[in-house]
Amino acid sequence: MAEYTVFIWGDEQAWERAGAGAMQENLAAHREFMARHGAALRGGNRLHPSSVSTSIRHTVDGGVSVSDGAFAETKEVIGGYYLIEAADLDEALRIAAEVPAPFGGVEVRPVWPAD
Amino acid sequence: MDPVVAAAVAEAHRTEWGRVLAAAARLTGDLDAAEECAQDAYAEALGSWMAHGVPDRPGAWLTTVARRRAMDIIRRRDILRAKLPLLAGPDPAGGDGDDGDAAMPDDRLRLIFICCHPALAPDARVALTLRLLCGLTTAEVASAFVTSEPTMAARITRAKKKIATARIPYRVPGPGELPERLAAVLDVVHLVFTTGHTAPAGAALQRRDLAERALDLARMLRLLLPDEPAVAGLLALILLTDARRGARTDPNGRLLLISEQDRARWDHDEISEGLTLAREALRSRPYTRYPLMAAIAATHATAPAPGDPNWAQILSLYDELIAIWPSPIVALNRAVAVGEARGPAAGLAALDVLAAEPQLAGYHYLPAARAEYLRRLDRNDEARLAYDEALLLAGNATEREFLAARRGQLPPGHGGAGHGGAGHGE
Taking the CA of residue A64 and the nearest CA in chain B, the distance in Å comes to 29
Give the other-Cβ count within 10 Å of B301's Cβ. Answer: 24
Tell me, what's the pLDDT at B103?
52
Cα dist from B103 to B18, B23, B107, B280, whole Å? 17, 10, 12, 33
Whether residues A90 and B177 touch (CB distance < 8 A) is answered with yes
Pick the most confident of A75-79, B27-31, B185-189. Answer: B185-189
Cα dist from B422 to A9, B298, B339, B341, B372, whole Å? 47, 16, 9, 11, 9
Taking the CA of residue B88 and the nearest CA in chain A, the distance in Å comes to 6
Tell me, what's the pLDDT at B254?
83
Tell me, what's the pLDDT at B100?
41
Cα dist from B264 to B247, B248, B270, B308, whole Å? 8, 12, 13, 16
Which of the residues in chain A have pLDDT under 50? none
Tell me, what's the pLDDT at B418?
44
Tell me, what's the pLDDT at B83?
60
Taking the CA of residue A22 and the nearest CA in chain B, the distance in Å comes to 30
Tell me, what's the pLDDT at B417?
44
Tell me, what's the pLDDT at B85?
67
Average confidence score pLDDT of chain A? 90
Q: Which domains does chain B have, with CATH numbers?
A: 4-11+21-80 (no CATH), 108-309 (no CATH), 310-426 (1.25.40)
CA distance B327 to B324: 9
Cβ neighbours of residue A22 under 8 Å, at least 6 residues apart?
Answer: A15, A102
Taking the CA of residue A97 and the nearest CA in chain B, the distance in Å comes to 13
Q: Which three-class secondary structure state does DSSP give residue B286?
A: coil
Tell me, what's the pLDDT at B228?
96
What pLDDT digit, counting tens, does each position of B272-313 carry?
A: 999 999 999 999 999 999 999 999 999 999 998 888 899 999
Percentage of chain B modeled with pLDDT above 70: 91
Closest chain B residue to A108, measured at CA: B166
CA distance A25 to A41: 21
Contact B63, B20 (CB under 8 A): yes
Residues 118-137 (B) with a CB less than 8 A from some CB of A: 119
- Please state the rounded mean pLDDT for residues B394-412: 90
Contact B146, B201 (CB under 8 A): yes
Three-state SS letters, B231-252: HHHHHHHHHHHHCCHHHCECCC
| Among the listed residues B342, B343, B369, the one whose alpha carbon sits nearest the alpha carbon of residue B355 | B369
Burial of A1 (0-12, 13-18, 19+ CB in 10 A): exposed
User: Which residue(s) pair with A81 in the sheet?
Assistant: A7, A45
Whether residues A90 and B165 touch (CB distance < 8 A) is answered with no
Radius of gyration of chain B (CA): 24
Average confidence score pLDDT of chain B? 89
Closest chain B residue to A87, measured at CA: B88
Residue B414: pLDDT above 80? no
Query: Number of residue pairs across A and B with CB atoms under 8 Å?
Result: 29
Residue B42: pLDDT above 80? yes
What pLDDT digit, counting tens, does each position of B189-240 carry?
A: 999 999 999 887 777 888 888 999 999 999 999 999 999 999 999 999 999 9
In one-letter notation, the amino acid at residue A22 is A
B342 against B249, higher pLDDT: B342
- Please state the rounded mean pLDDT for residues B248-253: 85
pLDDT band at B10 (very low <50, low <70, confident <90, very high): very high
Contact B297, B236 (CB under 8 A): yes
Burial of B201 (0-12, 13-18, 19+ CB in 10 A): exposed
Q: How many residues does chain B have?
A: 426
What pLDDT digit, counting tens, does each position of B87-134 carry?
A: 877 555 444 444 444 455 689 999 999 999 988 988 899 999 999 999
Residue B245: pLDDT above 50? yes
Contact B335, B354 (CB under 8 A): yes
A107 and chain B in contact, CB less than 8 A: no
Whether residues B89 and A2 touch (CB distance < 8 A) is answered with no
Residues 44-103 (A) with a CB less than 8 A from some CB of B: 87-90, 92-93
Q: Which three-class secondary structure state does DSSP give residue B408?
A: helix
Q: Which of A87, A93, A108 sits opposite B88 (nearest CB)?
A: A87
Closest chain A residue to B83, measured at CA: A115
Domain A2-48+74-110 has CATH 3.30.70.1060: yes
| Among the listed residues B180, B207, B181, the one whose alpha carbon sits nearest the alpha carbon of residue B193 | B207
Cα dist from B237 to A100, B268, B286, B289, B409, whole Å? 40, 14, 18, 11, 33
Whether residues B169 and A2 touch (CB distance < 8 A) is answered with no
What pLDDT digit, counting tens, does each position of A55-79 carry?
A: 888 888 888 788 888 888 888 999 9
A110 and chain B in contact, CB less than 8 A: yes
Tell me, what's the pLDDT at B105?
61
CA distance B247 to B135: 29
How does DSSP classify residue B258?
G
What pLDDT digit, counting tens, does each position of B310-344 carry?
A: 999 999 999 999 999 999 999 999 999 999 999 99
Tell me, what's the pLDDT at B421?
44
Residue B415: pLDDT above 50? no
Tell me, what's the pLDDT at B81?
60
Task: Enumerate the residues of chain B whose CB falls inside 8 A of the CB of residue A90.
Answer: 168-169, 171, 173, 177
Whether residues A110 and B165 touch (CB distance < 8 A) is answered with yes
A111 and chain B in contact, CB less than 8 A: no
B353 and chain A in contact, CB less than 8 A: no
Residue B166: pLDDT above 90? no
Q: Write the DSSP assignment of A24-44 as a string of letters.
A: HHHHHHHHHHHHHTTTTEEEE
HSE-CB for B395 with a 13 A CA cutoff: 11
CA distance B234 to B277: 9
> Which site among B167, B168, B171, B172 would you substitute to test the A interface, given the most A Cβ atoms closer than 10 Å to its Cβ?
B167
